[in-house]
Structure 1
Amino acid sequence: MTDDVPSPGDSLDEVGEPVAPDHAAAEGAPAEDDMGSSSALRDMLLSTEPQKSLDEVESPYDPARGGLRRVYRGLQKMTGVEGTPALVDLVIGGVEVLTESDVLDVDQEEQADDGPNLDVVNGVCEMDRYHTAVVGDSGSGKSTYLRECHDRFPGSLVLDDTDIGGVSGRDLDNAATVRSAGEARRASASRLRWVCSDAMEEIDDARAVAHDYHERTGYPVQVIVDEAHRHLPDSEKKSSAKNNTLAAMLHEDRDKGVKVVLASQDPTDFYYPPLKQCKWLVWCGPPSTFHRGFRRYYNIDTDDLPDERFQYRVIRPTEPPRVVYEGETSEEYA
């Protein structure tokens, strides 16, 4: 009897019959691999392999990075090529595709009478997640709007080389004025006015401070740059993401918790490719004649723009552009 018992070092294949691959084979019937069977379909839809990230950052729901990528990954999982189960990927990915393509968006006119679309009130809420361009002539209320944005965003940094004023610790709660990266890192306030002679001389340090703040707290950071056309001039050499830190922030930093707000009274002077990363345009006050080129580029009709100073319109620069909110800046920030 002991002769039939394998020792710990023996292979089981050397003793007895080989194990059947499945129950059918054990009964003498040939094994089946029927892709049309209910069990095969269930296995496909509930597959969790392969564990492939969407774009290095896994997220349970993110229309900007999911969508077609997630649907594709679901198909990969179902077919076992490389691919949460496949069924979940397909459902979430489909919703993300519709969300990003605006199929699920509701226009301002379709909102209930009890108030505006809260996703875009005063450029806060939903707009907190995406880069924004603020346009307005001198005296239009643009700086007032920027001060309001700075006050309403917990975790905001204004690179102030234009003496925008009104955003120092004397004017806002939990705010401070700093003049260097060291002061910015030591500040306990969550709203900083970084006074400098040239924003682009400080932009690399400001970007590093914003990244550190997001990594330390998990909260998003808003970086405001006024008269930004001076820092993104109409030159591919000077304003490409490879050569310009501000352009690189627009292209790369939303996934790192940083939202950029660019403001200008001369938007026609911008280099437009980086500006396309802005999901929202905020137009303050009536347009001027020299805004014509910018309006034509985005196909914005003058009827969609404000008639009075200190009025603003939030525009989604789709084709055609859509006004999603209109309002007035608050007097307390003027």
Structure 2
Amino acid sequence: MTRARAPREAAAPVRSGGTSRRVTARTTALAYAFMLPFLVLLAVYHTWPVLFGTYLAFTEYNVISPPRFVGLANFQRLLHDDQFWSGVVNSLKYLMVVPVLQLASIGLAMLVNRPLPGIGFFRTAYYVPVVTSFAVVGLIWTWMYQQDGPVTFVLQHLGLMKEPHSLLNDPGKALYAVMFVTLWKGIGYYMVLYLAGLQGVPKDQEEAAEMDGATRLQVFWHVTLPALRPTVLVCSLLSTISAIKVFEEVYVMTSGGPVGSTYTALFFTYAKAFQDFQYGYAAAAGLVIAVISLIFGAINFRLTRGGRSDA
């Protein structure tokens, strides 16, 4: 009795080193071909403006005549420009929005993360201000802050305002009124980011902590928050840079007034470039703002331990 032979497995084709390298090169070339449109747009609209703007920071340029190299003269001038440093101070004051915005967004994200009836409607409602043009938002809140607006009416009836007046015309309150609009408009955006982060928090760890007798606050502090640290880093970075570079709110609502109380660093750059046509000086101011943003970005990395959830 003969024994049937088992069918042989098909041998995998053996590629030579030259063939393998050609396949790898072809795959790499195909990948870069797909990325080429984006890389071109990135170079034209991001890399080139950054490089050219850095060059302009060391020149005197007014569009009419060619750039004239002046070295560090623009930066020396900035050191003695009280208006610029007043704008920097206002931009740094604007950083007060960041912790309030992050805490409110986390709390709101935890609230809408629950399976409550109609929760989808509330998620959408909180996000509507994010997709609304700031020109529209600014006009609405400018009307609400007017002397006969609803905000003034509420504050007066709560005893927080003696005489009715527009908050945007009060040098001591205008900046904080604009900050509140930034908070109101941005909370939905960061809520969505934190909501996505909460979806990745291990539920079994939270349940185990609760079974061990941990309170909700302890579970949040020792389990939920460490797992959210990468999201906290991203959100704090975005909100910090946005606060330092605040412009739209000021431009639409106050134009830097009253009496320069809302005049920010980026508004100073805009005014020097597009009102005074001092593009080299404006580029130098923009470079200083970029350095300040990098410093606060490094501080965010330090405080969040680089976004490592196991740190």
TM range (shorter): under 0.3
Structure in which a larger fraction of residues adopt strand: 1
Q: TM-score, normalised by structure 1?
A: 0.26
TM value normalised by structure 2: 0.28
